[in-house]
A and B are shown apart, each in its own frame.
Chain A
Amino acid sequence: MNHISPVIYQFLVKWLTNFRLFPPEASKIAPQMDALFFFILLVSLVGLTAVVLLVVSFSILYNRRRHPVAVQVEGSTLLEATWTIIPLGLFLMMFVWGALIYFRVYTPPPNAMNIYVVGKQWMWKVEHSGGQHEINALHVPAGRAVQLTLISEDVFHSLSIPAFRVKREAIPGRYTTVWFEATTPGTYHLFCSQYCGTNHSQMTGDVVVMTPEDYRKWLAGSTSGASLAQNGERLFASLSCNACHNARPDARGPSLAGVYGSRLTLANGQAITVDEAYLRQAILNPSQHVIQGYAPIMPTYQGEISEEGVIALVEFIKQLDSNYRIQQTLNTTELPPENEGNAAPAAPAAKGRATHAPAPRPPASQGTTPPGNASQGKVKP
């Protein structure tokens, strides 16, 4: 090896020991998708080989020197039918198999743990419900179904984890979801695969799959002190949601305890299941998502909460199974003025309304609830 330039040798070593032809399979769906991939590959190879063999052998057999006189053959309906029906049949097989896998990837199981991912130019913000925040990294436990709820703050991004064989667009304006179950601990690539501007190539990161034990340790060591739901509780009070959604007999808005997952009827008669998407829409575009029996008086919070804020509120409402803590906050804050729930005039006034909100903040309200009552509130961190 001495007669090869050291530079070239270095490159050769680097390249030849550091490349793969196929990504690692690190999720439960990966081998299933790969099976379909190899099936299509096999069919393609067979088809290609058939065409190439036929072309080559015809070229040899019917070369002008060997076969100077062409024999006119009009066609063969049998052949046409064969090579129409067989490819069609194979393609339909692939279609069905692929559709099954597609549905599997985008239909999260009910027991999946949820992690929120907010994409923005040019980073991924990952929010675990326990309050762990990550940038361009995603820690997940092996052996558990993990659902990612994605949204973008600006343009289209796409979260891609090749080792898991999952990819999903993060869209401005609504949630998208994807789920996976990681199988092998390790670190894998995470990419943004939808062109999103200048630093699209830099919007990459690592997915770290940990054993459940390591994951518990990581959770404990990375928490920011407040879970998403706790942040949501704070926002709930500071935005005066408790003015209407307080489960009092004369409340202007529906009670939110236990509302997540229930089936409700909208004012226009449509039946919906309350999921994250509905909750987000109800906060940002309430007039079209009014529940039957309630007046369409909820103001919109579009432009006043960030996507992280909406996520925190959604998480709070998801965990809510009693109105105790909400009513507690009412006791320690002044009620907002009478016209509070009505359609507000143009935006500047609405902003004014938000700052109108009562000064005492959750710390004060938390101060009034004795620690022993924490279990009564049942707001899980």
Chain B
Amino acid sequence: MPDSPATTHGAQQAANSADPANFANFADPANAANSAGAEQPPYLLHHFKSASQQADAAGFAMWLFLLTELMFFSGLFTAYLIYRNWYYTAFVAGSHQLSVVLGATNTVVLIFSSFTMAMAVWCSKTGRRRELALSLTLTFLLGLGFLGVKSVEYREKFENHHVPGRHYSLQSFLYPQSDPQIFAEYHDRPLPLDEARHTEVYFSLYFLMTGMHAAHMIIGLGILGFMILRARAGAYTSGHATFVENFGLYWHFIDIVWIYLFALLYLISRH
């Protein structure tokens, strides 16, 4: 007793007789073999006709998701570029308060972590269990290192009263000599009061942009931790590298965002 209606059946028969090669069955667990004759892998979901279609779809979805993340950050980048154009001297003065050494360290750390992540993807694809867990763990530690350096920088801002809000202080901008190290490097002029007030906008955007970035890193580290546990139990090495690969895309995206942040927040005002 067919439970599919007669019309589909009729169409099916017509198609079948027309060109059997065009016809491909759905990946039905009940079907032990598909048209290619191979076994269906256990991770294949019921609505995909092949593992490659599933992996393809997952990868495409990840790229689209990264596009939405790009749009999310773009609002902040737009605000930064507009305000930097309006309040140039204030933004330069604010930028001089950041430590380029720490920023560069973070950049190197993240780039290296992207390398270890790429290694992890390769290990997953080539079935290297031990190396996979190792690369993932290295990536995790490097990510933690990044957050550690970031927290050092944030603490420094907090101590210098450069966190926007009630305790924000204009001292460093009205009297640049009060920060001898920074003054020795940049010899900034003291800013007039109204210009100095605009440095708060700079720091707002600094915390917003790096904070958003750090939030994304924390989420990434959480997923990474989960992946390490699963990798040690042997997952991701039986030819199904999709999860690791797509997470790798996310991780590289975070890295690229940081590179832009480093350039825009730390570097372009050095002169």
Whether A and B touch (Cβ < 8 Å) is answered with yes
Say yes or no for A346: interface residue by CB 8 A criterion. Answer: yes
Say yes or no for B201: interface residue by CB 8 A criterion. Answer: no
User: Which residues 155-195 in B have Cβ within 8 Å of A in the complex?
Assistant: 169-171, 174-175, 190-195
What per-residue 1/0 map shows which CB atoms of A193-207 lie under 8 Å from chain B?
000000000000000
Q: How far is the CB of B82 from chain A (nearest CB, A)?
A: 15
> Among the listed A284, A287, A346, which residue makes an inter-chain contact with B191, where contact means beta carbons less than 8 Å apart?
A287
Asked whether A286 lies within 8 Å of B194 as measured between CB atoms, the reply is yes
Asked whether A287 lies within 8 Å of B192 as measured between CB atoms, the reply is yes
Q: Across the interface, which residues of A come within 8 angstroms of B87, CB to CB?
A: 288
Asked whether B193 lies within 8 Å of A299 as measured between CB atoms, the reply is yes
Asked whether B174 lies within 8 Å of A287 as measured between CB atoms, the reply is no
Instruction: List the B residue with the shortest CB-CB distance to A296.
Output: B192
What per-residue 1/0 map shows which CB atoms of A334-352 lie under 8 Å from chain B?
0000000001111100100
Say yes or no for A302: interface residue by CB 8 A criterion. Answer: yes
Asked whether A343 lies within 8 Å of B170 as measured between CB atoms, the reply is no
Instruction: List the B residue with the shortest CB-CB distance to A297.
Output: B192
Give CA–CA (A21, B175) in the complex, Å.
Answer: 65
Q: Across the interface, which residues of B come within 8 angstroms of A299, CB to CB?
A: 192-193
Asked whether B192 lies within 8 Å of A345 as measured between CB atoms, the reply is no
Give CA–CA (A344, B192) in the complex, Å.
Answer: 7
Asked whether B174 lies within 8 Å of A345 as measured between CB atoms, the reply is yes
Q: Across the interface, which residues of A come within 8 angstroms of B170, CB to CB?
A: 346
Q: How far is the CB of B141 from chain A (nearest CB, A)?
A: 43
Q: What count of chain B residues pass the 8 Å CB interface test? A: 14
Chain A, interface residues (CB within 8 Å), range = 10 to 19
Give CA–CA (A346, B191) in the complex, Å.
Answer: 12
Say yes or no for A300: interface residue by CB 8 A criterion. Answer: yes
Say yes or no for A285: interface residue by CB 8 A criterion. Answer: yes
> Among the listed B89, B171, B193, which residue makes an inter-chain contact with A350, where contact means beta carbons less than 8 Å apart?
B193
Give CA–CA (A350, B89) in the complex, Å.
Answer: 22
Asked whether A288 lies within 8 Å of B195 as measured between CB atoms, the reply is yes
Give CA–CA (A345, B172) in the complex, Å.
Answer: 11
Q: Across the interface, which residues of B come within 8 angstroms of A350, CB to CB?
A: 193
Q: Across the interface, which residues of B come within 8 angstroms of A297, CB to CB?
A: 192
Max chain A Cβ within 10 angstroms of own Cβ: one of B171, B192, B195: B192
What per-residue 1/0 map shows which CB atoms of A276-294 lie under 8 Å from chain B?
0000000011111000000
Give CA–CA (A300, B192) in the complex, Å.
Answer: 8
Q: Across the interface, which residues of B come within 8 angstroms of A346, CB to CB?
A: 169-171, 174
Instruction: List the A residue with the shortest CB-CB distance to B193.
Output: A300
Q: Across the interface, which residues of A come within 8 angstroms of B193, CB to CB?
A: 299-300, 343-344, 347, 350
Q: Across the interface, which residues of A come within 8 angstroms of B191, CB to CB?
A: 287, 343
What per-residue 1/0 map shows which CB atoms of A364-381 lie under 8 Å from chain B?
000000000000000000
Q: Across the interface, which residues of A come within 8 angstroms of B169, CB to CB?
A: 346
Give CA–CA (A296, B194) in the complex, Å.
Answer: 11
Give CA–CA (A345, B178) in the complex, Å.
Answer: 13
Q: How far is the CB of B198 from chain A (nearest CB, A)?
A: 9
Give CA–CA (A29, B229) in the complex, Å.
Answer: 73
Q: Across the interface, which residues of A come within 8 angstroms of B194, CB to CB?
A: 284-288, 300, 302
Asked whether A286 lies within 8 Å of B192 as measured between CB atoms, the reply is yes
Max chain B Cβ within 10 angstroms of own Cβ: one of A287, A344, A345: A287
Instruction: List the A residue with the shortest CB-CB distance to B173.
Output: A343
Q: Across the interface, which residues of B come within 8 angstroms of A347, CB to CB?
A: 193
> Among the listed A285, A296, A343, which residue makes an inter-chain contact with B174, where contact means beta carbons less than 8 Å apart?
A343
Q: How far is the CB of A278 from chain B (nearest CB, A)?
A: 15
Give CA–CA (A302, B196) in the complex, Å.
Answer: 12
Give CA–CA (A267, B191) in the complex, Å.
Answer: 15
Q: Across the interface, which residues of B come within 8 angstroms of A286, CB to CB?
A: 192, 194
Give CA–CA (A88, B194) in the complex, Å.
Answer: 49
Q: Across the interface, which residues of B come within 8 angstroms of A344, CB to CB?
A: 193
What per-residue 1/0 map shows which CB atoms of B189-213 lie under 8 Å from chain A?
0111111010000000000000000
Instruction: List the A residue with the shortest CB-CB distance to B89.
Output: A287
Q: How far is the CB of A281 from chain B (nearest CB, A)?
A: 10
Give CA–CA (A285, B89) in the complex, Å.
Answer: 13
Q: Across the interface, which residues of A come within 8 angstroms of B89, CB to CB?
A: 287
Instruction: List the B residue with the shortest CB-CB distance to A268.
Output: B88
Given contacts A284-B194, A286-B194, A287-B89, 12 further A-B contacts (CB under 8 A): A287-B191, A287-B192, A287-B195, A288-B87, A288-B195, A297-B192, A299-B192, A302-B194, A343-B174, A346-B170, A347-B193, A350-B193
List, sorted by A's number, 13 A–B pairs whose CB atoms are closer than 8 Å. A287-B192, A287-B195, A296-B192, A300-B192, A300-B193, A300-B194, A343-B174, A343-B190, A343-B191, A343-B192, A343-B193, A345-B175, A346-B169
The 5 closest A-B pairs by CB, nearest first: A300-B194, A287-B192, A287-B195, A343-B192, A285-B194
